[in-house]
Amino acid sequence: MKEFEHIPVLLNECIEGLNIKENGIYVDGTLGGAGHSSKIIQQLSDKGKLIGIDKDTDAIQKAKAVLNKFTNIIYVQDNHDNIKDILRNLGIAGVDGILLDLGVSSYQLDEKTRGFSYMQDAPLDMRMDKTQELTAKKVINTYSEEKLAKIIFEYGEEKFSRQIARKICEYRKEKEIETTLELVKIIENIVPKNIKQGHPAKRTFQAIRIEVNDEIKPLYTTVLNAIECLNSKGRLCIITFHSLEDRAVKQAYIDASGKCTCPPDLPYCVCGKKEKGKIVTKKPILPNDDEILINPRSKSAKLRIFEKK
């Protein structure tokens, strides 16, 4: 297994945002290379507890190696979307803080065999959980032209989505599309090179990855479930990397804060919104120039924090 390297994004801002109590219970719902977890658990006493969740077996193995001197951590191989069930199964009624660092990790991008990167030739895979059946290869070779176009447009915000989907379907009539670079070449024939937008395949690869790992559809509900799992004054810190994620998190925070959605001309509230807490970050926290210089992948990161009532 390749060395699981990961530079934690907005590390100090997350630790400060979690407002850690030394005897508290905290959840890292995206354990990854244990970059954030290492810092969290150092703030805890022996009575404190950290629950590390990741659906990637490689991430769990690496985290166990990194955090091997700590005994107050529970490792769970699962999806953070199932946080309510995970905590219920552990017999934990509430936690004092939850961190979600969304998207794909640096290791997953760099590990050639995982097929996340458009810069390296690899089998079309893109699974964060290597035990699941749906792969990028299956999406690319079996989805209809209409469905592919919809995914690439909605999840990748790619304006050439229809042309890309059409070209993919034409190509696969001749042979199955098996590798990342095969897909890249198809896309490069459609999308003009634009320095500002980055690599021509960037948006399509993002879209396929999101579809394979079902990253967006459950996110709004996951945020609300995470808030429910917090103790009073507990904090939820979420790092997003693109507008689709950020939009879902922002909307969930607004709804959880109890903001009335009734038309302004109504004499009284009928929407029944209930305040579950407050949004700590009125505007998202962004990485500073120094962090972006050290870790260019942090450039699009946004941190939003919510505190339970």
For domain 11-103+217-308, the CATH class is alpha beta
Whole-angstrom distance, CA of residue 298 vs CA of residue 39? 18
| pLDDT of amino acid 2 | 46
Whole-angstrom distance, CA of residue 163 vs CA of residue 171? 12
Where, residue-wise, is CATH 1.10.150.170 in the chain? 129-213
Where, residue-wise, is CATH 3.40.50.150 in the chain? 11-103+217-308
Per-residue pLDDT tens digits for 20-29: 999 999 999 9
Q: For the chain, what percent of residues have pLDDT higher than 70?
A: 95
| pLDDT of amino acid 267 | 81
Architecture of domain 129-213: Orthogonal Bundle (1.10)
Per-residue pLDDT tens digits for 172-231: 999 999 999 999 999 999 998 875 678 999 999 999 999 999 999 999 999 999 999 999
Whole-angstrom distance, CA of residue 61 vs CA of residue 104? 17
Per-residue pLDDT tens digits for 219-272: 999 999 999 999 999 999 999 999 999 999 999 999 999 977 778 888 887 877
Range with the lowest mean pLDDT among 81-90, 100-109, 128-137?
A: 100-109
| pLDDT of amino acid 146 | 98
Closest by CA position to 164, among listed 178, 182, 148: 148
Kindly report the pTM of this predicted structure: 0.88
Per-residue pLDDT tens digits for 266-302: 888 787 778 999 999 999 999 999 999 999 889 999 9
Q: For the chain, what percent of residues have pLDDT higher than 90?
A: 81
> In the predicted model, what is the mean pLDDT of the chain?
92
Whole-angstrom distance, CA of residue 171 vs CA of residue 249? 37
